[in-house]
Amino acid sequence: MSEDTIQQRIRELADHINADYRERNPLFIAILNGSFMFAADLFKNLDAAVEISFIKVASYEQFSSTGNVSNLIGLTEPLHNRDVVILEDIIDTGITMEKILEIIKDLDPASIEIVTLLQKPEALKVELNIKYCGFEIPNKFVVGYGLDYDGLGRNFKEILQLKD
């Protein structure tokens, strides 16, 4: 996926988010490490009054999700009665997002929505309500634009599929 294609879709997602949150003050929770580039570019296109915080979870080893989610860095902002938008780079099995949703729901937000740049429908193992999705992609391993392979490739401006 080219840099131009990614940036155009981010502008479209931002337009939808701007319309939906025009009169509200949502807190975006970006999932590190992968979503940092997506979060930065999305925020450049948001007009609404928005805030951002970051959490870090780990569930990948080599090419696949381990299914074991560990919350490494937590939230410091109170979420009670806040509109929360979880910002993720990629959702494949959905197991990581399911765990994040459980944690956030326990903090009593007014609403929770998910925005992801990429989604792999073929890999999804849990039911998720993803309101904002940039692209649906095949169940292949991709790198670039924040996504990595063992720490490498995050700095690419485009998204590339690794060879099978």
The answer to whether 92 is a known catalytic residue is: yes
Q: Are 118 and 87 in contact (CB under 8 A)?
A: no
Using CA atoms, how far apart are residues 45 and 105, in angstroms rounded to an integer?
27
4, 89, 92, 148: the catalytic one is 92
Active site amino acids: 92
